[in-house]
Amino acid sequence: MRRLRAVGAHLSATSASDDELLFMRFPHCGEVRQVHPIPQELLDRSLGPGHGTVTVGDRMGGAFALRGPSVAAETEEEQPTPEAAPDAPLRVDGPLALQPPVTGEAGGDLARRLEDDGLLYLPGALTPEQVTSLIQAMDAAKTDPGNPVDSGIGTLAANRAIAAAEAAGEAPDWNWTGNKGVMSWWNRFPDGQMLQYLDLDPCCAVAEATLGADCHLIQQKGWTTGPGRPADRQLHLDFLPLYCPGAQAALLEGRLRVPIALITAHYYLEDTDMDLGPTLFVPGSHLSGRAPRAGEHSWRGKGARAALVNAGDCLMFRSDVWHASTPNLTADRTRHIMQVHYCSSLLSHRVGSAYQPRSNEGDWHSSHDGGDGPWGSPVASPESEPAIEKKMNARQARLLAGFSSGQ
């Protein structure tokens, strides 16, 4: 961490003359900045001599990259990976090995496991009563047509696509009829019943132990996927904190440790088998230093594995782990997942925008109050409702500090 901070200190234009500065575009936020190039001697001290050089990364649209020597000399990983056909199903190597915490493991121990393994399995994180309550809430919840980050059934995009399909005499795509994603979950219920899941331990304790005192929550989502869901054809990651594929030897040997920037917690509300659409993960892929390539279905010989979990289990993963969804092959079963995303406050205003963009008009709840009392249509405001804020405990208020209404 100390060495990475030293490297990061040079990504600043404050101490560089005009002729030393470079323009670079950062891919996670699209922002173009002038930065001070990282001195080679600093990279040598951080990664070991010869393990990093600074270039303007072509594949990442101009972001800085740590480039190692010949990849073949470093690791087998960078040998060309055979690409599958674009429509080929993802390779699945079987079930994911799930390792629950052992007796006596504290939040810090679990945080280190999350950092090292990229994944953390927390069985029985929800009670049966909580599982039932969440399923009922997700089935009843509606998307907000005015919210640009709600997805699927009931959104403006869905309504338009369904109308166009019907006009053309075609069946609408499943994404508009069988998928529903309701964002800002804590903000959808006037009684504040969803706040309890924001700081639910041990998940929240692990996030705080990982991200420190500036741990923020950037999204809570209720997500339902019905029968007929298609499969992903491509692995992906959620956010890449540092693009450094040439430093894989240092990553694998532990000489370079990339801090976690964003954590996702999946709370599964059904017993998940292969037919219900389990999440796929590629073990160890957070050490690749890059995103998966098009048609790439494995890393260092390891293919994706399916998370076959039970109702009430939680699976936490860091944002640079490669993963994908699988099809819902059932005829009459819906998969329900509650997602909670934690992020360092240093990045939450940038990473969070991908999960919670603000509308041009400002507060969605003020412009989409639909007439069912003061809450109107389902609320997906980028700011917490004042009535909800009054129900928050101190920990929840700190986690949601970026969404305060200021009222």
DSSP 8-state assignment for residue 198: T
Query: Are the C-beta atoms of residues 27 and 60 closer than 8 Å to each other?
Result: yes
Range scoring the smallest mean pLDDT among 8-22, 78-92, 292-306: 8-22
Q: Tell me, what's the pLDDT at 267?
A: 98
Q: Which of 216, 181, 178 is nearest to 199 (CA)?
A: 216
pLDDT grade, residue 53 (50/70/90)?
Answer: very low
CA distances from 237 to 241, 245, 291 (A): 11, 15, 6
Q: Tokens for 147?
A: 């919210």
Query: Are the C-beta atoms of residues 178 and 227 closer than 8 Å to each other?
Result: yes
Over the stretch 97-108, which tens digit does the pLDDT of each residue have? 999 998 888 888
Q: Tell me, what's the pLDDT at 78?
A: 53
CA dist 273 and 277 (Å) reads 7
- Residue-level length of the chain: 407
CA dist 330 and 228 (Å) reads 7
Of residues 3 and 376, more confidence is placed in 3
Over the stretch 259-288, which tens digit does the pLDDT of each residue have? 898 999 999 999 999 999 999 999 999 999
Query: Are the C-beta atoms of residues 265 and 337 closer than 8 Å to each other?
Result: no
Percent of the chain with pLDDT over 70: 68
CA dist 128 and 269 (Å) reads 9
CA dist 49 and 55 (Å) reads 16
Of residues 71 and 129, more confidence is placed in 129
Whether the full predicted model's pTM is greater than 0.85, yes or no, is: no
CA dist 219 and 184 (Å) reads 6
Q: Tell me, what's the pLDDT at 195?
A: 94
In this structure, CATH architecture of domain 92-403: Sandwich (2.60)
Q: Tell me, what's the pLDDT at 81?
A: 52
**How many other C-beta atoms lie within 10 A of the C-beta of residue 150?**
26
CA dist 110 and 316 (Å) reads 10
Residue 184 has pLDDT above 90, yes or no: no
Q: Tell me, what's the pLDDT at 157?
A: 80
Of residues 295 and 317, more confidence is placed in 317
Q: Tell me, what's the pLDDT at 84?
A: 66
Q: Tell me, what's the pLDDT at 88?
A: 75
Residue 44 has pLDDT above 80, yes or no: no
Q: Tokens for 217?
A: 């929550």
Q: What's the N-to-C CA distance of the chain in angstroms?
A: 37
Q: Which amino acid makes up residue 384?
A: S
Average pLDDT, the chain: 75
Residue 111 has pLDDT above 60, yes or no: yes
Q: Tell me, what's the pLDDT at 404?
A: 55
DSSP-assigned letters across all residues of 138-194: HHH----TT-TT-EETTSHHHHHHHHHHHHTT-PPPHHHHTEEEE--GGGS-TT-TT
Q: Is the bond preceding residue 374 a cis peptide, omega within 30 degrees?
A: no
Residue 361 has pLDDT above 50, yes or no: no
Radius of gyration of the chain measured on its C-alpha atoms: 22
Looking at the chain, the domain(s) classified CATH 2.60.120.620 span: 92-403
Range 350-388 burial, b when 16+ CB lie within 10 A, else e: bbbbbbbeebeeebbbeebbeeeeebebbbbbbbbbeeb
C-alpha dihedral sign at 54, 56, 57, 60: positive
Residue 152 has pLDDT above 70, yes or no: yes
Of residues 128 and 357, more confidence is placed in 128
Q: Tell me, what's the pLDDT at 37?
A: 53
Q: Tell me, what's the pLDDT at 175?
A: 76
Q: Tokens for 211?
A: 């991200």
Q: Tell me, what's the pLDDT at 68?
A: 33
Residue with tokens 């399916």: 306
Q: Tell me, what's the pLDDT at 265?
A: 97
Q: What is the mean pLDDT of residues 68-84?
A: 44
CA dist 276 and 159 (Å) reads 26
CA distances from 194 to 106, 138, 340, 407 (A): 25, 11, 11, 21
Which phi and psi (to 5°) does residue 73 adopt?
A: -75, -25
CA dist 269 and 312 (Å) reads 6
CA dist 180 and 155 (Å) reads 9
β-strand pairing of 262-268 with 179-182: unpaired
DSSP 8-state assignment for residue 36: P
Q: What is the mean pLDDT of residues 365-376?
A: 30
Range scoring the smallest mean pLDDT among 2-6, 10-14, 187-191: 10-14
Q: Tell me, what's the pLDDT at 209?
A: 93
Helix (H) or strand (E) holding 132: helix 128-140
Secondary structure (3-state) at 121: strand
